[in-house]
């Protein structure tokens, strides 16, 4: 009953709208189209201006990084790299959600769960907000929700933008301290593995003795307790998907020597407490 009343109001409102527009409205051309054309020109000019600032400041900068970033970074290199993975800016909020949900059980929420729920809520909006009221001050729930959504997206985007991922070159300096704490100073292969670990992208997803990133991967300080053994760790890192891990990238490209060293290093990582013997 209420449903049919709502439908009748909606239809009457729209009929009245159509009549009003026909009687009182202005033709799209030239009036509205004039504004649209000016706006279109502004958009094209802004895009051209961004392209010019990006190109000319980068071209004349000594390090090739202009006001809007470099023209390109170095050529893609799947093997050795200490590159910090970072998505385009409009995915920063998703990128940061991964840090909110910790590996491994709830990471699925951040990668797929929450985005799917948000998308369903977005698409379904006209179906759960069924009132005919359009004025903002009479839509308190809508206005509060909108403010919360904008704020949280803004904060997540900003946090994603400034999230500090450690850079390989900085992490290598920790290696001697790690070797001392973990007690593998005299194991040359493990020390070499620690250097590989520090200079690859490992620490953008993993923490190690307080350094690196706390997510989405687990803290590896005491990973040896898992008891995989040096060879087991090397195999795991080479192709994590073989072990049911579909999140971590494969590192088979870094070569057998690096993998073996890395395995030795992980197998020597018994947690800082192990040094008290």
Using CB under 8 A, which residues numbered 94 to 123 contact other proteins? Answer: 94, 98, 107-108, 111-112, 119, 122-123
Smallest gap from Cβ 165 to other proteins, in A, equals 11
**Candidate segments 134-142, 187-195, 207-215, 258-266, binder of other proteins by CB under 8 A:** 134-142
Tokens of 125: 């909006």
End-to-end CA distance of the chain, in Å? 78
Distance CA 29, CA 31 (A): 5
Smallest gap from Cβ 17 to other proteins, in A, equals 3
**Candidate segments 71-79, 190-198, 228-236, 258-266, binder of other proteins by CB under 8 A:** 71-79
- Draw the binding track, 171-210, toward other proteins (x: CB under 8 A; -: no contact): ------------------------------x---------
Tokens of 166: 């450690």
Confirm or reject binding of residue 8 to other proteins (CB under 8 A): yes
Smallest gap from Cβ 87 to other proteins, in A, equals 5
Per CB under 8 A, the list member of 60, 62, 105, 126 interacting with other proteins is 126
Q: How many CB atoms lie within 10 A of CB 224?
A: 20
Q: Phi and psi for 217 in degrees, rounded to 5?
A: -80, 165
Per CB under 8 A, the list member of 230, 248, 254, 259 interacting with other proteins is 248
User: At a CB cut-off of 8 Å and minimum separation 6, what does 106 contact?
Assistant: none
- Nearer CB in complex with other proteins: 63/88: 88
Classify residue 30 by its DSSP letter: I
Per CB under 8 A, the list member of 61, 65, 67, 136 interacting with other proteins is 136
Q: Report whether 166 contacts 174 (CB < 8 A).
A: no
Q: Report whether 216 contacts 205 (CB < 8 A).
A: yes
Per CB under 8 A, the list member of 218, 226, 229, 249 interacting with other proteins is 249
Residues 207-246 that bind other proteins (CB under 8 A): 239, 241, 246
CA 258 to chain CA centroid, Å, is: 28
Q: Report whether 110 contacts 215 (CB < 8 A).
A: no
Smallest gap from Cβ 242 to other proteins, in A, equals 9
- Draw the binding track, 19-58, toward other proteins (x: CB under 8 A; -: no contact): -xxx-xxxxxx-xxx-xx-xxx-xxx-xxx-xxx-xx---
Per CB under 8 A, the list member of 63, 77, 105, 186 interacting with other proteins is 77
Q: Residue 234: which region, alpha, beta or left (left: phi > 0; alpha: psi -120 to 50)?
A: alpha
**Adjacent-strand bridge partners of 207:** 212
Smallest gap from Cβ 113 to other proteins, in A, equals 9
User: At a CB cut-off of 8 Å and minimum separation 6, what does 19 contact?
Assistant: none
Name the residue among 271, 191, 192, 266 with its Cα closest to residue 234. 266
Smallest gap from Cβ 157 to other proteins, in A, equals 11
**Adjacent-strand bridge partners of 212:** 207
Number of chain positions touching other proteins (CB under 8 A): 94
């Amino acid at each position: 009953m209420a449903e049919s009343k709502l439908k009748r109001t909606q239809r009457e409102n729209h009929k009245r709208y159509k009549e009003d527009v026909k009687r009182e409205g202005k033709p799209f051309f030239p009036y509205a189209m004039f504004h649209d054309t000016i706006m279109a020109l502004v958009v094209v000019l802004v895009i051209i201006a961004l392209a010019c600032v990006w190109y000319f400041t980068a071209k004349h900068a000594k390090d090739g990084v202009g006001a809007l970033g470099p023209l390109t970074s170095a050529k893609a290199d799947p093997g050795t790299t200490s590159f910090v993975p970072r998505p385009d800016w409009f995915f920063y909020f998703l990128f940061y959600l991964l840090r909110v949900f910790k590996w491994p059980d709830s990471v699925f929420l951040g990668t797929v769960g929450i985005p799917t729920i948000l998308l369903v809520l977005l698409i379904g909006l006209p179906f759960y907000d069924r009132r005919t009221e359009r004025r903002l001050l009479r839509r308190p729930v809508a206005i509060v929700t909108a403010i919360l959504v904008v704020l949280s997206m803004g904060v997540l985007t900003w946090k994603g933008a400034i999230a500090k991922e450690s850079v390989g070159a900085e992490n290598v300096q920790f290696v001697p301290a790690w070797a001392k704490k973990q007690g593998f100073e005299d194991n040359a292969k493990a020390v070499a593995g620690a250097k590989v670990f520090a200079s690859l992208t490992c620490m953008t997803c993993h923490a190690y003795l307080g350094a690196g990133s706390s997510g989405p991967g687990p803290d590896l300080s005491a990973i040896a307790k898992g008891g995989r053994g040096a060879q087991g760790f090397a195999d795991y890192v080479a192709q994590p998907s073989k072990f049911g891990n579909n999140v971590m990238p494969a590192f088979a490209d870094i070569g057998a020597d690096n993998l073996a060293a890395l395995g030795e290093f992980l197998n020597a990582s018994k947690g800082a407490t192990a040094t008290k013997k």
